[in-house]
Structure 1
Amino acid sequence: MRARSNCLVLLAVSLLCRLAAAADWSEEQISRLPAGERPARLFNGKDLAGWEGQIGKYFSVEQGVIVGRNNKENAPQASTYLLTKQKYRNFRLIFESKLVNSEMHSGIALWGKAVEKAEDPFSYQGHLVMYPSAYGFYDLYRRNSIFQDKLGVAQRVGKQHDWNRMEILATGRRIRHVINGRLVADWSDPQPELCETGPIGLQLHSNNLPQEVHFRGLILTENPEDRLVTAESRDAGLLLEGNPAESGMDPEALKGIGERMRAFVAAKQMAGAVTLVARRGRVVHVEPVGKADIAAGRDMANDTLFAIASMTKPITAAAVMILHDEGRLKLDDLVSKYIPAFKDTALATGKPAREITIRDCLTHTSGLSSDQRNQGTLANTVELLAKSPLAFEPGSKWQYGPGLSVAGRVVEVVSGKPFDQFLSERIFLPLEMKDTSFRPTPDQAQRLARLYQPTADKKGLEPGMHWLFDLSPDTTPT
């Protein structure tokens, strides 16, 4: 019996330690702050001293956490906020938040003021950093949505019903938002006159359904240095939507892209397109136009998938270089070392001066030629290529051809894995390329753009019969 009691005590201590460790995340970030920044704790962990709002009715402190809660009977008609009594302009805020239930969102209000809405004096007019579910920035009671998570960056890293670790860096007219170590938004307000000194607000969204949101940590520094402290270094080059002017782009000129694409669609020169422009690490334009499937009436969307055809070739080259970097092959190795059939390749006039190398396959100097249609499996296709006459001496000239299919087969032989499996394990999954595959899932197939070609009279479009659209199980596109 004593042994069981000891186990229970140890279990309780373990759980308490884990809870304390989780609650201390914001505190742990203090050691990462620049030397000149002095942290202030907006929440003392005990009560709501220093805050004002509908305390008692909607906001309280439970087990060291700020809780915002409504129910079906007392849901606010307008979003209500727990506001700091002190006002802030340039600051860094490090905190954790969790939406316990509902599929709505919460957020942090800043750069504004308290206003009365629906008989609640604690609504807010100003900027709102939203999470989870509806990520982005909102200008409450003025411009509405001012920044959207169009690329789904925040959606992928945020947690709907669990603790999210966050940092907001708000300086000048620029707001940066980090969620769980990822920079998900970096946006500058084109109207700096609207970026006012004001209280910081914790949002409880207006909702006819019960909603509960938790906040903890809430470490703030004023006039911070211009660098993030919780973002992982790998996110330095993350592409996010940004202001065109800050990237040296003309916003008016960018608007012309969509207009030109719509003109092509109207002229039936193409069914549709999704255009994207990025500069200096920021996406400054993304716009879908036209149809992904004309017969079904399905519009192009930001997440429409396309057959990338021969853009598979640079991915294949990357796979070869992975094996090269691991010392498992050399670029000047003869292909016949891995695929014996290539020892007997020949020109129409006789035997070539030398055999084909892996480097030849990567640089389109192999002499191989075909329409690049796969004949069954990759192994079968490559065996047939080895039996086809070479168009020229290997290494003697450049001609676009099927050499990368041979390189892909070399990857299979050296790695001992099917080509698509190697790409998935070594490239797509590590890079979170979740929508890149040789064989789309049923869900992905619903987002796939159909291929079209001009009609015989050149006045319209019809479904394309190109082999690229062949997604049958026994083929692997090159």
Structure 2
Amino acid sequence: MRTGSCAWLLASLTAAAFAAANEPEFTPLFDGKTLNGWSCPEMKYWSVEDGAITARNTEPIQECYYLTWQGGQPADFELKAKFRIQGPREANSGIQFRSKVRADGFVEGYQADIAREPKYCGVLYDETPKRGLLAARGQRTVIDESGRRHVEQFADEAELFKKIDLDGWNEYHLIAHGQRIAAKINGESMWEVIDREKGRRGETPGVIALQLHVGPPMQVWFKDIRLKILTPRE
């Protein structure tokens, strides 16, 4: 390893330790050095580089690959994670939560989307069939028991996109508490959803996973991943 890389890694680990010390209620899910506690049926796409979980495909892939955290299936929590994505406009990834792993390895459930494409970057998508996009940037969506969606725009979608650095590091802050889920990127509120639909993911425990999306060659990095468990709502 080159000296510059060693210095970069040391700085990353120091930053992670500093963040943990200043957020004692959060538990790190990634040690900054190994993939211990994480699993994917195709581990060849996943590695650790310079203190970050790295997903990379050098040839186009025809299916999604998920790296799943093995430490539990939380329902009520806050999750913080820094991310970075490189590749063409089609490059796409995301953080799955309150999700389930199907027998074929596909992960269904809520996804905090990460993308080079403005339409998808920073939105809430549900990988469950027939659900799809639940909230675009700047939207507050209430889903009633029948599945009907009531949407209001609380902030400008294009202005929120400007808060995301497509060529650098960003931080997701996810909150899942009862039927309410919400997200911030770099401190800016991106979306909020109240999900009351029967038989869906609202209030349901589920896995946390990182996605490498089907598509062209791309690279995605994740670091400083940490979790805070919340008391369930009455």
- Which bin holds the TM-score, normalised by the shorter protein? 0.7 to 0.9
- Residue matched to 1:130: 113
Change (3 A) 1:213 1:224: farther
Instruction: Tell whether 2:217 aligns with 1:210.
Output: yes
- Measured against aligned partners, the alpha-carbon deviations of 1:107-154 in whole angstroms (never above 9, x if no partner) come to 1101120124xxxx3321111111243131111132111111263243
The equivalent of 1:100 in structure 2 is 86
Q: Percent same amino acid among aligned pairs?
A: 25
Amino acid of the structure 2 residue aligned with 1:82: L
Which consecutive residues of structure 1, in runs of 5 or more, have no partner in the other structure?
1-8, 227-478
Give 1:140's match in structure 2, choosing from 119, 127, 139.
127
**What is the match of residue 141 of structure 2?**
none
Amino acid at match of 1:148: A
The number of equivalent residue pairs is: 204
Distance 1:71 1:21 in 2: 28
Does structure 1 residue 80 correspond to structure 2 residue 68? no
Check if 1:49 corresponds to 2:55. no
Match status 1:174 vs 2:161? no
Query: Residue 162 of structure 2: SS of its match in structure 1?
Result: helix
3-state SS, counterpart of residue 102 of structure 2: strand
Residue 100 of structure 1 and its aligned partner are, at CA, apart by: 2.2
Change (3 A) 1:225 1:81: same
SS at match of 1:57: helix
1:42-441 equivalence runs, <5 A: 42-72=29-59, 75=61, 77-85=62-70, 86-103=72-89, 104-116=91-103, 121-132=104-115, 133=117, 134=120, 135-142=122-129, 143-149=131-137, 151-152=156-157, 153-191=159-197, 193-195=199-201, 196-207=204-215, 209-223=216-230
Q: Where does residue 391 of structure 1 map in the other structure?
A: none
AA in 1 matched with 2:74 = Y
C-alpha distance in 2 between matches for 1:128 and 1:178: 13
Q: Is the 8 A contact 1:168 1:178 kept in 2?
A: yes
Amino acid at match of 2:105: F
Structure 2: runs of 5 or more not aligned? 139-155
Considering Cα pairs closer than 8 Å and 6+ residues apart, tell me whether 1 or 2 has the greater RCO.
Answer: 2
Q: Which amino acid aligns with 1:111?
A: R
Two-structure CA RMSD over aligned residues (Å): 2.7
- Please show how residues 433-452 of structure 1 align to structure 2 within 5 Å: none
Q: Is the 8 A contact 2:45 2:56 kept in 1?
A: yes
Q: Give the TM-score normalised by structure 1.
A: 0.39
Q: Where is the helix percentage greater, Structure 1 or Structure 2?
A: 1
Which structure has the larger Rg over C-alpha atoms? 1
Distance between the aligned counterparts of 1:110 and 1:197, measured in 2?
Answer: 9
- Name the TM-score, length of structure 2 as normaliser: 0.76
